[in-house]
Amino acid sequence: MLLAVGVRSQGTKAPIDIPHLQRQGAATQLMVHGKPFLMIGGELGNSSASDLAYLKPIWHKLVQMHLNTVLVPVYWELLEPEEGKFDFTLVDSVIYSARQHNLKLVLLWFGSWKNSMSCYAPLSIKTDQRRFPRARDREGKALEILTPFSEENRSADVRAFAALMKHLRAIDGKEQTVILIQVENEIGMIPEARDHSEAANRAFAEQVPAELLGYLQKHKASLIPEFHDVWSATGFKSSGTWEEVFGKSVHTDEIFMAWHFARYVNAVAQAGKEEHPLPMFVNAALIRPGYKPGQYPSAGPLPHLMDVWRAGAPQIDFLAPDIYFKSFSEWCEKYDRSGNPLFIPEVANNQSVANAYYAIAKHNAMGYSPFSIESLENPETNQISKGYEVLQQLAPLILANQGKGTMAGALLDSAHHQTQLHLGDFVFNVRHEYSWSYARRVEGELPRVGGMIIRLSPDEFLVAGSGIIITFAVRGDDGAIAGIGMMEEGRFVDGRWSPGRRMNGDQSHQGRHTHLPGDSFSMQKVKLYKYQ
């Protein structure tokens, strides 16, 4: 499954050149028109793409903020207003507008589930519970959630999604405006960890499918530790009912649901890929600290359930986190495991875009995307705009270096004031700029800052980001000292470095360090040397 890397995304109809995932060293990159592409993105608010007049002025704003990719919902109810009759007006208009603005699209299929609920299912489905059954709580009360234990529900979603993908192939197969698809949105069971409908209860009493157990046995040595721990508690039982194999707890309820959600989504993705095999992913609402299954949207593509999702949904190329918590780096770590490529489809739009620099450099992220991007004020000068302007310039260099061990990222805030990075022969001590008494500062909590370092040659480095101070040392113990040969700010123009000011005086504390001021995003080229 995951990782249709090195080949076209899985599916049967793929004679045309199509966006796909490809491995470069330790990284997975999204290839568009045969070249790696970094998604400098933003996701539209949920309702913004349902009204073309509302959407019209937004496009220009996105360009002003230096995006190259927009994540846009496709609403099942509006795509299929009548059963079997599809209306592609919104989709077509979004694609044509994106092309006019030189933007790529990630389409979000708001199908059976959106943030756990089935609010985007067509009314004809919502109002026919007999044919399209709901999940139920343990008292038997119906929820506004389509049950994944229904063939009818799945087939209805499959048909609509396949129609969408078929249409995309027809109108966009050549242009490749749509480069990636999110299947459903933040799937999860709430307020209980599992569905208690009759069909769900029957499935829960059955044996754990051999497909799942076979996968777990085969990957036992590399299972995600949190999942490994749950299974180890029963001595890695290799057959039996769900409660026999995984124990009697809400964790088992969640594992059971994750498997069935994954199977359902896999069928939807497969039908879509048979029409147009774009790479596809699912996104997760993350867990608040201390919450138990049932208290958070459970059974989604969460880190501790990665193995279950990978086993159940081989058509899904990767799992992605929606990061609204401050603990950005921890969630990146959790999703950058087991070969899962990192893409961040949603992040709170008030978080520093230094996050993007860090995720792209440290975790080889394929892209980054603040949510409700269009709601931000001052599109020409806000921090996302400033950060993205520099990131756009850097994209070719980043893409050439991802996965090769020649890039490093730092993210600092009130909990982490400094970090040490290593590239080639040198050590980079990265500190929050507030550690330097001359830095301009704002009152209140220490702002999040960060950036990336790219090794250009054994003694030349490009540093980019905001709010950091970097000092240099030589790796090893031969007593050599790292000297700063020269430092210059600059820009990339058409992919070539165009130097600006030399920074060897006050701007670098007379050659003691590199400083990227926190009121903007900038980059500098640094040439180091060694002396004794």
Q: Using CB under 6 A as the criterion, which residues of the chain lie in contact with ligand DGJ when the complex forms?
A: 46, 115, 185-186, 322, 346, 371
Q: Which is nearer to ligand DGJ, 115 or 153 (CB)?
A: 115
Q: Which is nearer to ligand DGJ, 348 or 473 (CB)?
A: 348
Smallest distance from ligand DGJ to CB 372, Å: 7
**Which one, 284 or 462, has the nearer CB to ligand DGJ?**
284
CB of 346 to ligand DGJ, least distance (A): 6
Which residues, including other chains, have CB under 8 Å from residue 261's CB and lie 6 or more apart? 148, 187, 299, 300, 312
Amino acid at 435: S
CA proximity to 465, closest of 495, 489, 501, 439: 489
Nearer to ligand DGJ by Cβ, of 203 and 269: the residue is: 269
When CB distances to ligand DGJ are compared, the closest residue is 186
State the minimum distance, in angstroms, from the CB of residue 320 to ligand DGJ.
11
Closer residue to ligand DGJ (CB): 274 or 346 = 346
Q: Shortest Cβ distance from residue 344 to ligand DGJ (Å)?
A: 12
Q: How far is the CB of 46 from ligand DGJ (least distance, A)?
A: 5
- Biggest CA–CA distance in the chain, Å, is 81
Closest CA to 388 of 46, 61, 29, 57: 61
Residue 75 or 227 having the CB closest to ligand DGJ: 75
Nearest to 194 by CA among 239, 249, 274: 249
Assess contact for 515 and 507: CB atoms under 8 A: yes
Nearer to ligand DGJ, 44 or 213 (CB): 44
Cβ count within 10 A of residue 501: 12
Strands 27-32 and 35-37: antiparallel
Task: Please spell the DSSP secondary structure of 172-235, one letter per residue.
Answer: HTTT--EEEEEEEES--B-SSSS--SHHHHHHHHSBPPHHHHHHHHHTGGGS-HHHHHHHHTTT
How many Å apart are CA 316 and CA 269, to the nearest integer? 7
What phi-psi label fits residue 190: left (phi over 0), alpha (psi between -120 and 50 degrees) or beta? beta
Query: What is the nearest approach in angstroms of ligand DGJ to the Cβ of residue 45?
Result: 8
Separation of alpha carbons 27 and 359, rounded Å = 12
**Closest CB to ligand DGJ among 348 and 400?**
348
Closest CA relative to residue 194, chosen from 138, 112, 115:
138
CB of 512 to ligand DGJ, least distance (A): 43
**End-to-end Cα distance, the chain:** 53
* Nearer Cβ to ligand DGJ (314/345): 345
* Residues whose CB is less than 8 angstroms from the CB of residue 306 and which lie 6 or more positions away in sequence, other chains included: 224, 227, 319, 337, 338, 340
Residue 48 beta carbon to ligand DGJ: minimum distance, rounded to whole angstroms: 11
Residue 342: phi, psi to the nearest 5? -95, 130
Least Å from the CB of residue 58 to ligand DGJ: 16
Q: Residue 48 CA to chain centroid, in angstroms?
A: 21
* Of 280 and 394, CB closest to ligand DGJ: 280
Packing angle between helix 250-275 and helix 225-232, nearest 10 degrees?
A: 130
Task: Please say which residue, 345 or 387, places its beta carbon nearer to ligand DGJ.
Answer: 345
What Å distances lie between residue 391 and 184, 479, 521, CA to CA? 29, 36, 9
User: Collapsing DSSP states into helix, strand and coil, what is residue 278?
Assistant: coil
Instruction: Kindly state the smallest distance separating residue 209's Cβ from ligand DGJ, in Å.
Output: 29
d(CA 272, CA 109): 11
Shortest approach of ligand DGJ to residue 143 CB, angstroms?
A: 18
Reading the block at residue 414, the tokens are 């009130």
Nearest distance from residue 437's CB to ligand DGJ, in Å?
39
Nearer to ligand DGJ, 223 or 286 (CB): 286
Distances (CA, A) of 421 to 126, 185, 473, 491: 53, 36, 10, 24
